[in-house]
A = this chain, B = another copy of it.
C-alpha cells in the first residue's frame, strides 16, 4: 500500500519574500518549527562569527578571498552584499538535498528570488506576503514609537520598493492574521509537494499498479 506521504519525491525551494513588517520572519520561524521536512540552507558569509554562533551550523564563515573565488566559480545559487558583508547560498548543498527530498526555505528579497529562479526554475516556489493595509504596515514599522519620522519614512520607502515586485511571485498571501497566514503558506507547501513532477516515486508505483 502506498500513500502520498511515503512515496519518494524531489524536494523544493520555498521562497518567502515580503516587505519588512509583513510577517516574513514570524511565518518562517513557524514553518521551521512545525514542518519537519523543510529547513534553512546554511549560507556562506564574510561577516565575522558572533558569540554563540557555530561555523557550519549558523553559517559557513569564509574570508573575502574564498567568497570571491566561490562567486567566480559559480558555486552560489544567489549572493548579495549587505552593509559591507557578503552572503551566499552554496549550490552543491541545496542540489544534493533536493535530490533526497529535502525542502529548503529561503527568506530573501526579490533580487535573490530572481537569481534562484533563473538557476532552479522548476524547484522554486515563490510566495509573497503583503500587509493587509498601508495603515497596518505603518503601524508595524513604527515599532515602539522611539524612532524619528525620518527613520520611519525611510522604512516605508524600502517596504514600498519591495512591494513593487509582488508580480514576480507564484503565490500572494495577505497577512491579516498570523495564524491564518501560516496555514495558507502550509497549504501552498503541501500542495506543491503533491505536484506530479516532484513525486519521483510515482513512476515505480504506477509500474506496480500496471503489472498483474
Nearest opposing residue in chain B for A128, CB measure = B196
The minimal Cβ–Cβ distance linking A135 to chain B, given in whole angstroms, is 8
Verify B170–A196 contact, CB threshold 8 A. yes
Does A109 touch B at the CB level, under 8 Å? no
Chain A residues numbered 168-212 whose CB sits less than 8 Å from any CB in chain B:
169-174, 176-177, 180, 184, 187-188, 190-192, 194-196, 199, 202, 205-206, 208-212
Cβ of A195: which chain B residues have Cβ within 8 Å of it? 170-171
Verify A130–B190 contact, CB threshold 8 A. no
Q: A4-B174, A172-B199 are in contact. Are A194 and B205 (CB under 8 A)?
A: no
* Cα(A137)–Cα(B177), bound, Å: 43
Verify B134–A202 contact, CB threshold 8 A. no
Nearest opposing residue in chain B for A3, CB measure = B176
The minimal Cβ–Cβ distance linking A141 to chain B, given in whole angstroms, is 13
Cβ of A191: which chain B residues have Cβ within 8 Å of it? 171, 187-188, 190-192
Which A residues have a C-beta under 8 Å from some C-beta of B?
Answer: 1-4, 7, 128, 130-134, 136-137, 156, 160, 163-164, 166-167, 169-174, 176-177, 180, 184, 187-188, 190-192, 194-196, 199, 202, 205-206, 208-212
Can you show 14 pairs from A to B with CB atoms below 8 A apart? A2-B130, A3-B180, A4-B176, A4-B184, A128-B196, A130-B209, A134-B208, A160-B210, A172-B199, A173-B194, A174-B205, A184-B194, A187-B191, A188-B194
